[in-house]
Amino acid sequence: MTIFEKSVKNRKGYELPLYELPDTGCNLPEHLMRKEAPALPEVSEVDVVRHYTELAHKNYSVDRGFYPLGSCTMKYNPKVNEDMAALFSNLHPFQPRETIQGAIDLMGHLKELLCEITGTDDMTLQPAAGAHGELTGLLIARAYFEDKGELDKRRKVIVPDSAHGTNPASASMAGFDVVEIKSGSDGCVNLEELKAHLDDTVAVIMLTNPNTLGLFEKDILKISQMAHEVGAVLYYDGANLNAIMGRTRPGDMGFDIVHLNLHKTFSTPHGMGGPGSGPIGVKAHLAQFLPTPVLRKSDDKYDIDYNLPKSIGMVRSFYGNFGVMVKAYTYILTMGNSGLKHVSEMAVLNANYLRKKLSSKYKIAYDRICMHEFVVDNEEFVKKTQVKSLDVAKRLLDYGLHAPTVYFPLIVHEAMMIEPTETESKQSLDTFIDAMERIYNEAIENPEIVKSAPHVTPVRRLDDITATKSPIFRFKK
Ligand SMILES: Cc1ncc(COP(=O)(O)O)c(C=O)c1O
């Protein structure tokens, strides 16, 4: 029996609907048409498999070992989540809506769960990354003030100097003036400094909590009160949500707009770029400005709604990065309530174990109980040994370990930002500690070996500026 009017069978024999795509009339002009076959290499299957396997072996990945890349780290990426995402790979966003009800339900339920986790009232799943979420959130704040007739005077977005670079960049892209405030001597927001900048010209205060030093903003309730007293919107950069998930919620701290990095906290591999998903959760008073379409529930069923007159409009094609959403949904359901809480507890425990152990050799910036990550301050170490944080990072590769993030946050000179994540065993943490201690001793006894590292990788130090600015993508014979 066939279910669909027109269908095909996939390799497993399942019937899939076949739709005729509309003729878009998009015929390429003659002069753009290829005149001869492309000069692709002719190789056998076995050569192709060997080529990619060799490339994969040259590459360091979280499947090979420890990956302590603070702030952008590779988290737990269960393989089963990839299988779940693959279940939906035959869907096409142009399919009639009645044939994708399962996918719409999944997005609707995911939205509900994420609202619950963050303490927000409504959410868009559209943005394609954290930074894209930031821009979306700021455009929502902009629309909110425009609607209130206050946009002309509310020009400022306050950002602490410890913030991720995307925060000021997004604020600027959204058309605001960025005001940077200096962190206090404890690494947190300095209330006096904040107060000095707060008035009715402020539109948004953007904070990351825990911040990029891995420290919880202890005065967050006071900050939220101060922000709201001058009518500003409090924005939460949720890239570090894995440190507090299940224990506290940004919405309860007073944040009005919350972005999430699904690809960071909810199990899609991150580091070196996408694919990503940066949902934006909002409190009720901002929901009318969310991007369209929005997910609405009626009669226990979700649907897509384009009717939101004050919406900022679409920020990405279709519904967002659906595969990442499937993985996040699978992850949340697999972990459950207590599992998510356990994740944040383990992330904090592992970070503090590393911090304490490494502090016998390395100076820790703002050395006190941290959240999911902490920052090493190598300024004195560099003066003593001439060995830089970058050299230590490169030498770690010789020990078979991925390097931490270096030179961020900017307020710590010669910074090494270390995030072990919740999934690492004590054994792998001890292996890292051992390598870091050895490198410290090498820097004192034989600095050249650290300064000229790496020695065992397929390539040595790369010219990363040229690689970024003038990449060569073309196949060369
Ligand atoms: C604190 C913080 N904010 C924002 C971002 C930006 O996220 P994305 O790289 O997805 O654009 C990151 C990146 O991981 C981050 O660590």
CA of 438 to the centre of ligand 1 (A): 31
Question: Could you write out the DSSP letters of every residue in 306-331?
Answer: ---TT----SSSTTS-HHHHHHHHHH
Which numbered atom of ligand 1 lies nearest the CA of 72? 14
- Residue bearing tokens 């702030």: 71
Q: Is the CB of 239 under 6 A from ligand 1?
A: yes
CA 260 to CA 126: how far, in whole Å? 11
CA 214 to CA 370: how far, in whole Å? 6
Q: Is the CB of 170 under 6 A from ligand 1?
A: no
Closest CA to 117 of 335, 436, 312, 314: 335
Q: Is the CB of 164 under 6 A from ligand 1?
A: yes
Query: Residue-wise pLDDT tens for the chain (477 aa)?
Result: 666 777 777 666 777 776 665 666 667 788 887 777 777 777 899 999 999 999 988 888 888 899 999 887 667 788 999 999 999 999 988 888 889 999 999 999 999 999 999 999 999 999 999 999 999 999 999 999 999 999 999 999 999 999 999 999 999 999 999 999 999 999 999 999 999 999 999 999 999 999 999 999 999 999 999 999 999 999 999 999 999 999 999 999 999 999 999 998 998 877 555 689 999 999 999 999 999 999 999 888 999 999 999 999 999 998 999 999 999 999 999 999 999 999 999 999 999 999 999 999 999 999 999 999 999 999 999 999 999 999 999 999 999 999 999 999 999 999 999 999 999 999 999 999 999 999 999 999 999 999 999 999 988 998 888 988 998 887 765
Q: Which of 75, 164, 209 to mutate to test the pocket of ligand 1 (most atoms within 8 A of CB)?
A: 164
Q: What local confidence, expressed as pLDDT, does residue 271 receive?
A: 56
The domain limits of the chain are 85-334, 337-466
Phi, psi of 363 (to 5 degrees): -80, 130
Which residue's CA is minimally distant from atom 9 of ligand 1? 130
Which residue's CA is minimally distant from atom 12 of ligand 1? 239
Q: Which of 72, 260, 373 to mutate to test the pocket of ligand 1 (most atoms within 8 A of CB)?
A: 72
Q: How many CB atoms lie within 10 A of CB 59?
A: 10
Global pTM? 0.89
Q: Could you give the C-alpha distances from 407 to 161, 390, 411, in angstroms and in order? A: 14, 8, 9
Which residue's CA is minimally distant from atom 8 of ligand 1? 130
Which numbered atom of ligand 1 lies nearest the CA of 278? 10
Q: Is the CB of 264 under 6 A from ligand 1?
A: yes
CA 143 to CA 137: how far, in whole Å? 10
Which numbered atom of ligand 1 lies nearest the CA of 264? 14
Contacts for 437 with CB less than 8 Å, ≥ 6 apart: 360, 361
Q: Do the first three CATH levels of 85-334 and 337-466 match, i.e. the same topology?
A: no
Q: Is the CB of 268 under 6 A from ligand 1?
A: no
Q: Is the CB of 241 under 6 A from ligand 1?
A: no
According to DSSP H, which parts of 175-271 are helical?
Answer: 191-197, 220-229, 250-253, 262-265
Query: Which CATH number is correct for 85-334, 3.40.640.10, 2.40.160.20, 1.10.760.10, 3.40.630.10?
Result: 3.40.640.10
C-alpha angle 407-413-414 in degrees, rounded to nearest 5: 55
C-alpha angle 148-152-156 in degrees, rounded to nearest 5: 100
According to DSSP H, which parts of 359-378 are helical?
Answer: none
Query: Which CATH number is correct for 337-466, 3.40.50.20, 2.30.30.170, 3.90.1150.10, 3.40.47.10?
Result: 3.90.1150.10
Which residue's CA is minimally distant from atom 16 of ligand 1? 71
Question: Could you write out the DSSP letters of every residue in 375-389?
Answer: EEE-HHHHHHHS--H
Q: Is the CB of 377 under 6 A from ligand 1?
A: no
